[in-house]
Structure formats: C-alpha cells, structure tokens
Chain A
C-alpha cells in the first residue's frame, strides 16, 4: 500500500510562477498554502495581492483574490473582512508596497486591530520596477536610485516595520522570520500558522515579516544572496516574535523605582 507523504498543497495552483531564480516568493507562497490547507480554511480564504513582484500572486493561489492598488492591500483587506467577517483574509505585500507608499494603511490596519493576516516580504529593494531604493534598503546598499549606496544622511535609516508596529497598544501578533535556510522555513511556517490561527479565532491583527533575497536586483548569484542576507540584513532585522496578544502593556515604567 502506497501512502502519499508529500504533495502540492491544494491552496497552490498547478502553474509555473514568474519569479526569478533564487527569489523566495515561491517558497513563501508554498508555506502559506500549506498552512491554509492544514488549518482547513482554503475554501473560505480571500487573498489580497499587492503591486510589486508578487502582483500576480492571484495566479498562484487556489483561493479567491483581490488585486489591490500600490500600498493599499491592508485597506482592501479591511473592506473584505468588515464586509464578510466569516472569511479568512490575508494581504501579501513587499517592502516598497507596505513600508513606503502603504505605510499609513498598514499602521492603521494594525492599530484598528483588523482581524486579518499580513505577510510582509522584505527584500530591501524594489523588485518589479527594477531595483530602486526601498525604505528597507540597507545603509550603503547600492540600488538604481542610490548608485553610490544608501546615504543615511539623505535617505535616513532602514525602517524596521515589525519593531515599529509592535509599539502599538492594540493587541496583535507580529513576528519576523526568514526562509533562507530550511530550518528557518520551518520556523516561518510555524509563525504563519500562529498568525492565521489568531485570525481564525478572531483574536487580533497578525503580521509576519519574512526576510527575502533578490539576487536579480542585488546583482549577485542566489547562493551569495543568501550569505549577503545573513551578513547584512540579519543583524539589523533580528528574527523573533515582537508582539503577541498575550504580551502585557507597553506603558512606560515609572522613572523612580
């Protein structure tokens, strides 16, 4: 008797993606699909695709989808969830989409405590438009709009979205992971499982930031890109759980002990 021990998730469509070699969008799509399958929510899930490399995400998931305008996925997700609270709603966004043009939408979606899940893929650069500087681009990192490297005196320092969102008083689940090693991919799946579970239980807003490589726009081969992420991004973007709905108040402690 043969037993199937590994197969394509039902929540993933049987198509080839357009992603570049060494890009992690494919891995992240698969992990999300596995979680949707395992939670048994695929049939009542609606995704929201961003503008960016994952603009065509709606072609890859076997779920209903909305294609949002640039940065507005959290607002679209809010509209869907408020209209149909019974649906499981997730937005999939890159760092230009979420941390630049869509900063207001993500902050207020999190602050209202919308019961949606945001998957935030941070590869420190604009991918689809051709490698321009993002709010998450590392100091000194070369991009097509900072050919001499990001100058923090002019462009400021990279924005740490998970840290920033975790300062909000509204209960939420916020975590940062990576998928550049198999073990971290397993961790990422656990984080996404927790994020979606909080939503399914109607508990809180959830966001999982996932560090990603962009060999094409970083201009280095995939294996080197993984090392570059480890060396340059991990120290600045530490992995971990930043906020859970169970964690206590973040009110300042008294000045005097």
Chain B
C-alpha cells in the first residue's frame, strides 16, 4: 500500500478503523478535536457509530457499555478530559474491559494551556484513579508509530482484557507525516473469544454480568491478585523501547520518550558530527517500563540525562532503573514550551564540562 500524508490525529482515527473499531464516543477538547471529527466523518462510511457525548464522564461510560457488549471501541481526549474519565477507567480496569483511550497531552495543571506537554506521565502510569490497577501505556514518536501502536493497542486490550492508553502530545496530534497501513494485518496476539460479553442470555452460555463490585472482601482480594497476575505478564511480555548509539562508546545516555526523543535524536546527530557520542533509550511502553534496558545502557555511560516536557515525572522511573549508579541530569520545558535540539546539545556539553548540576534527591 502506498504512503499517505496524514495528520497525526487522522492517522490515529484511521488506524482504529483499520483495527476494526466501529464505535467512538468522545467530547470536544483541544488539542485533539481532529480525532473525533475524523471519526464522525469516517465511521458512518464503514457502518460504524460516532456519538458526541455530553461530557467526558458520559463518553467514558458509553465506552464501558460498548466494550461490555464485546465490540472494539475507542475514545480520545486531552489532559483535563482524561481526568474526568479517570473514574470510569478504574471501572473499566476493574470489570476487565478492553478499550483504547488516547490522551493527547496538553500543559497543566488545571485548565493550563493547549500546547504540547508530557505532564500526565505519572497519571497514565501510576495513579490514573482509585484502586489497584494498571493501564498498558504506549507512547508514539511519529505519526506512523502512532498508527501502528493504535492498531496494536486493540489487540493488546483484547488479549489482556484491559484498557490500553496511547499517550501522545499535541505535536503527535497536529503534525503531518507519511503513513502507511499494512494490508491484511494479522493480530499481534492470539485473541481469546469474548465469551464474557453481555449480549443476551439464551441459556447457551453462563449469564454475563459486567461488573467491578465485590462486596465479599475475600473475593475482592482474589480479584486484585488476578489483576496483578495480568500486570505481571504485561511486565514480562510487553516491554517496548528503541535504542540508538548503544553499540559504541558514549559518555552520556539520554532517556526520553515521545516527540521529545525526536528532538534528542536531532541533537545526537549534531553532536556526533562534532565527535561527541551520546546513546539513547526511548521507552515506547511507559507501563510496563523498560527498567532493564535503561539500567544496562546506563552501565557504559558516565552520566544519564532525562529530557521531558514536565517538571520531572518519568525521571522517577529512570532513578528506579539506575539506582544511583550514575550521576543523573535533567533537561525540561513545561507549560507548552518545547525543548530545542540546541538546548539538548548545550546540556550535553555542560554535563561533559561539569557545569550541569546533578539531580540530587534527599
């Protein structure tokens, strides 16, 4: 199939349709409106349904009903809207419903701004809402990767019976790049039958109840152990990352994800032209996090640099990975400001010259 020039948001929508998602429930919020707009145009063409809900609260609960009926379903939103969906996401995880949720992050806190940010990392990977649960979180750095990850996300959601979150930023949503959809794409997992779906009870199967309520504490404890077992399997089987420059020597290891990692790779090329070698690990799955890859890559480095569009969220996982074995440095912009390649280059020089201040935690 030929490549097509697409906006990230449209590619995300088309990828969902290609993955067999014929249901979309959403609510307008900048900077991701192109996703529901695309779906409102595209879904009727394939016999699907688009509903503009009255709120993110309603949209996420429509997701619950549709997913509980065994159909592939997606929603998208941006930071404040995801906060409104958080309660339902806890229910979705508790009731083990497969859904795909896209968060095109904007800068916060509060109403914040509408420009790109990575300030929802912690929410996505650690504390989306009440209760012990995890989302599988995937972070694309290009339009093509966004399209690929969305399709994989539906398979992963079905396989694990768990919500999967695509964590992008305003850049991913807005930029245009060539994108290709493989014909005859096979699922990346052997998908189980959805015999648990509530689609009416004619006696041919046990009654289906989509539910996260367990009034018996022993049952609820068992349910939590069952969920934990799933998250453990994700940690074992679903870690995704890319690396660059790790097969030669390097002084500094950069850890960055999403579009920021692209800025870093531009800087790394520029540094290489001047004989400065820098390695990079780019986490693609944020949960499960590639702790081992970061730990091993850090062994060869003299220092580790984390670059983020936040006040320092993923850096906590890098700390866990390297466990104080190397000096840790941090470069960031927030509020919708972007890190430039020049800032990364300057930071690397500063680290080499000893003028960059280490991140020290008490």
A interface list, Cβ under 8 A from B: 42-46, 48, 55-56, 58, 62-69, 72, 75-84, 87, 104-105, 107-108, 112
> How near does chain A come to B300, taking the closest CB pair, in angstroms?
49
Q: Is B251 an interface residue (CB 8 A)?
A: no
CA distance A68 to B67 in the complex (A): 13
Q: Are A82 and B66 in contact (CB under 8 A)?
A: yes
CA distance A66 to B212 in the complex (A): 9
Q: Is B359 an interface residue (CB 8 A)?
A: no
Which secondary structure dominates where chain A touches chain B?
A: helix
Q: Are A64 and B208 in contact (CB under 8 A)?
A: yes
CA distance A66 to B54 in the complex (A): 21
Q: Is B63 an interface residue (CB 8 A)?
A: yes
CB nearest to B62 among chain A residues: A79
- Knowing that A45-B200, A56-B213, A84-B199 touch, tell me 14 more A-B residue pairs with CB under 8 angstroms: A46-B199, A64-B198, A65-B209, A65-B211, A67-B209, A67-B211, A68-B61, A72-B58, A72-B64, A75-B65, A77-B65, A83-B70, A87-B199, A112-B51
Q: Are B207 and A64 in contact (CB under 8 A)?
A: yes
Q: Are B64 and A68 in contact (CB under 8 A)?
A: yes
CB nearest to B212 among chain A residues: A67
Count the A-B residue pairs with Cβ separation under 8 angstroms: how many? 131
Q: Are B69 and A79 in contact (CB under 8 A)?
A: yes
Q: Are B209 and A80 in contact (CB under 8 A)?
A: no
Instruction: Pick from A43, A75, A81, A84 the residue with the most CB of B within 10 Å.
Output: A75
Q: Are A83 and B23 in contact (CB under 8 A)?
A: yes
B interface list, Cβ under 8 A from A: 23, 25, 49, 51, 53-55, 57-59, 61-71, 73, 87-88, 91, 95, 198-203, 207-213
CA distance A108 to B210 in the complex (A): 23
Which of B61, B62, B64, B200 is A82 in contact with, Cβ under 8 Å?
B62
> How near does chain A come to B51, taking the closest CB pair, in angstroms?
6
CB nearest to B207 among chain A residues: A64
> How near does chain B come to A44, taking the closest CB pair, in angstroms?
4
Q: Are B201 and A104 in contact (CB under 8 A)?
A: no
Instruction: Pick from B51, B57, B201, B208 the residue with the most CB of A within 10 Å.
Output: B201
Q: Are A66 and B198 in contact (CB under 8 A)?
A: yes
Supply 8 A–B pairs (Cβ within 8 Å), ascending by A.
A43-B201, A63-B200, A65-B198, A66-B198, A69-B64, A78-B51, A79-B62, A83-B65
CA distance A66 to B198 in the complex (A): 7
Q: Are A75 and B58 in contact (CB under 8 A)?
A: yes
Q: Are A80 and B54 in contact (CB under 8 A)?
A: no
CA distance A62 to B202 in the complex (A): 10
CA distance A43 to B87 in the complex (A): 31
Residues of B within 8 A of A63 (CB): 200-201, 207
CA distance A14 to B95 in the complex (A): 25
> How near does chain A come to B131, taking the closest CB pair, in angstroms?
12
Q: Are B209 and A79 in contact (CB under 8 A)?
A: no
CB nearest to A104 among chain B residues: B54
Residues of B within 8 A of A105 (CB): 54, 57-58, 61
Residues of A within 8 A of B51 (CB): 78, 82, 112
Residues of B within 8 A of A112 (CB): 51
CA distance A66 to B208 in the complex (A): 8
Residues of A within 8 A of B211 (CB): 58, 65-67
Q: Are B213 and A67 in contact (CB under 8 A)?
A: yes
CB nearest to B63 among chain A residues: A79
CA distance A68 to B198 in the complex (A): 13
Asked if A67 meets B207 with Cβ closer than 8 Å, knowing A78-B62, A79-B62, A79-B64, the reply is no
> How near does chain A come to B298, taking the closest CB pair, in angstroms?
43
> How near does chain A come to B8, taking the closest CB pair, in angstroms?
26
Asked if A64 meets B88 with Cβ closer than 8 Å, knowing A76-B62, A79-B62, the reply is no
Residues of B within 8 A of A77 (CB): 65
Asked if A87 meets B69 with Cβ closer than 8 Å, knowing A43-B200, A64-B200, the reply is yes
Residues of B within 8 A of A66 (CB): 64-65, 68, 198, 209-211
> How near does chain B come to A191, taking the closest CB pair, in angstroms?
24
Q: Are A83 and B73 in contact (CB under 8 A)?
A: yes
Q: Are A83 and B209 in contact (CB under 8 A)?
A: no
Q: Are B61 and A72 in contact (CB under 8 A)?
A: yes
CA distance A53 to B40 in the complex (A): 38
Residues of A within 8 A of B91 (CB): 69
Instruction: Pick from A68, A82, A84 the residue with the most CB of B within 10 Å.
Output: A82
CA distance A64 to B199 in the complex (A): 7
Q: Are B65 and A79 in contact (CB under 8 A)?
A: yes
Q: Are A80 and B88 in contact (CB under 8 A)?
A: no
Q: Are A64 and B201 in contact (CB under 8 A)?
A: yes
CA distance A244 to B95 in the complex (A): 36
Q: Are B71 and A62 in contact (CB under 8 A)?
A: no
Instruction: Pick from B23, B53, B64 the residue with the most CB of A within 10 Å.
Output: B64
Residues of A within 8 A of B57 (CB): 72, 75, 104-105
Residues of A within 8 A of B212 (CB): 67
Q: Considering the complex of A and B, which 6 residue pairs feature the smallest CB-CB distances, nearest first?
A: A79-B65, A75-B61, A79-B62, A64-B198, A72-B61, A76-B65
